[in-house]
Structure 1
């Protein structure tokens, strides 16, 4: 496995500066994917087709996120640039947010959806242009024995960004601020977080990137660790994206909270994230000491169990309690996920490209949002919330497949 080419100091403050941009992107994606986009799509197309049009939007955006990172990562490895691409991508991302925000308040019906759709594609392009080189920094700058802690710091900041995003939406809703305020807030947080990382994380010297044998993309998958880390991440991401885009719909249709579905979705997210914050840092340290696999076994089983129990939750308080427990597993999984991916890279010469390929395992499953949206509408059309039974049941199955297949990863504890 690869070794870092230029290590940063191991103090916690350095790990937090390294992962600051993840805080901004987590705040960004939580508000967009789980709150703003579902509500806006429902406004544009109505309840009858909301699942299908939401799935189409997210699935198309996932194609951008699927194709762009390996290409940009390879370019970043070749020219020796990380931070310049991060800055450019962040600015394009903000432009896309402006288009989406404008469409949400100025346009209605299908015309609004089309403009909103285009704005979301700009967001996806900019965000992936920024994150493709950024993903190389943990394997490139952090020693293997410190990667659990660095990944834990990243998971903590991701969870904290999500928590702040959910709370921010509650505040914006309570103050009855215009919808554009949420998009503006997302842009500001993203800009500040990116600025912290660019300011305090060193650009690795280009000469350091020439270490190791250069492998083709297909050769990556001949390495056992990379292959199975990729496959298991696909299954965990499939579990996540089977239900994540539809939480707001679940809140209204299954729990009967239609009048306050968006606000209560934020409350549920706060519960999930509060749980994940409590396990993020501790699980990362545990993984450095005792291994990555035990954390994955426990975390994945916990998430699968909760996915099924959501279907039989009798009321909102029980569902919120389950959300906290799900968060325990989600935080623990995220705390070792990045460390596991970094451990599996076979060559130091192509960190950004290879992390871009590995990142496909998390992004490609977003394409399932389109068929899952159709499945949700199809099942619900047959009554008794059958659509939710199908998508939540699939989520549990995907989580358990991820748990089972982690054991195939060799040379990683």
Structure 2
């Protein structure tokens, strides 16, 4: 089955199509915001915690930069998406098992490097799965419905994050070992993957891309990106929002302990994440539907400004209660942004002949910015060494700048760009 903007209805339910995003959202929230900070602290100690959490995010960003365009181009050549999801899922699960074994049986730097190996497998598998999978929305969904589908995806991602926070909180309160949480992550990744694979089914058929497109090198893929300016500006603005997110996300648990003075920072962090996610669920579907009527950019202007201002206000929060309220406001902005984000990117695809390759590049825009965790982690440790909590002022301030730049530059993205159908990029 070939895709076409002329289709009146997509052949797949938005909930089945986006189910795997629910699983990956659950997966990454628990891994990056709960397990990694706590595990790294266990391995390397207090003084180097920010630096080594940053190292892991840097590793993830490097893999996200390389894998998606290559795997996406290969997927275009075969005209299939789901086989890549299955194989990537398997590697992802092996990586989770390696990380769990490292935490349960090893200590010190030797344990940390085994943990890094598992994290590498997780990153490889997840990127291998999600790059071709990302092509399904532009491939199967007509442009007029992409806001609704993007909203459903945003809501499922938020719901996955919410359940991830709840699951991590329950495991923490019950004092269960980290192995239980790793196992839960694996289960919650597999079940939505099965839903998506069964829901997409025979719709996972696209005409194989022309050889010149499907066999393009990574350099040629990036050249195609820069040659098509609507997609370039969408990529740049999406990357800026992701840079803002990853500037603070890995360090929220430390913020709860050092700035908000919480006795149980793991649990407090999970409550804060839950507040963000519940609010984002409330705004996700609404934002997507509004964008189908008034356009994508007005929603992003409001959402991005809300995120930028709130990031700064976190620095002035006098206590956990106020910070929790700010988390709700931030979540409203974040949910509205994610509901529109995917639709804007899908509208700006350069060509229907290279959806997976180009969505692989698009995938880089919101995964590769994890690299900011490396320098931000080092900056956090350096700033806190100079003056109490100065590191947090620097990190949150930089996040606000990234959000603001994303809002300013998104005006360069033309509305309702639907791509140059059937022409190689």
Structure 1 CA distance for aligned equivalents of residues 202 and 361 of structure 2: 22
C-alpha change, 1:69 and 1:343, in structure 2 (3 Å) is same
Q: Return 5+ residue gaps in structure 1 as ranges.
A: none
Partner of 1:42: 41
**Pairing 1:103-114 to 2, within 5 Å after superposition:** 103-114=102-113
C-alpha change, 1:65 and 1:203, in structure 2 (3 Å) is farther
Displacement of 1:6 in angstroms is 9.2
Displacement of 1:210 in angstroms is 4.4
Partner of 1:398: 402
Q: How many residues align?
A: 410
Q: Is the 8 A contact 1:72 1:133 kept in 2?
A: yes
TM-score by length of 2: 0.93
Partner of 2:253: 248
Partner of 1:380: 384
Structure 1 CA distance for aligned equivalents of residues 97 and 290 of structure 2: 42
Q: Is the 8 A contact 2:297 2:415 kept in 1?
A: no
**Pairing 1:14-413 to 2, within 5 Å after superposition:** 14-204=13-203, 206=205, 208-210=207-209, 214=213, 216-217=220-221, 218-257=223-262, 259-412=263-416
Displacement of 1:172 in angstroms is 1.1
Q: Is the 8 A contact 1:225 1:412 kept in 2?
A: no
Structure 2 CA distance for aligned equivalents of residues 247 and 87 of structure 1: 32
SS at match of 1:381: helix
Displacement of 1:176 in angstroms is 1.7
Structure 2 CA distance for aligned equivalents of residues 87 and 404 of structure 1: 39
Q: Is the 8 A contact 2:78 2:208 kept in 1?
A: no
Deviations 1:281-306 (CA, angstroms, capped at 9, x unpaired): 01000000110000000000000000
Q: Is the 8 A contact 1:20 1:196 kept in 2?
A: yes
Q: Is the 8 A contact 1:284 1:332 kept in 2?
A: yes
Deviations 1:65-121 (CA, angstroms, capped at 9, x unpaired): 111000000000001221111011101101100000111111111111110000000
TM-score by length of 1: 0.96
Q: Return 5+ residue gaps in structure 2 as ranges.
A: 418-425
C-alpha change, 1:338 and 1:212, in structure 2 (3 Å) is farther
Structure 2 CA distance for aligned equivalents of residues 75 and 168 of structure 1: 36
Q: Is the 8 A contact 1:4 1:144 kept in 2?
A: no
Structure 2 CA distance for aligned equivalents of residues 7 and 203 of structure 1: 17
C-alpha change, 1:137 and 1:204, in structure 2 (3 Å) is same
Structure 2 CA distance for aligned equivalents of residues 252 and 316 of structure 1: 10
Structure 2 CA distance for aligned equivalents of residues 95 and 4 of structure 1: 37
The more displaced of 246-255 and 220-229 is 220-229
> What CA RMSD, in Å, does the superposition of the two structures yield over aligned residues?
1.9
C-alpha change, 1:332 and 1:311, in structure 2 (3 Å) is same
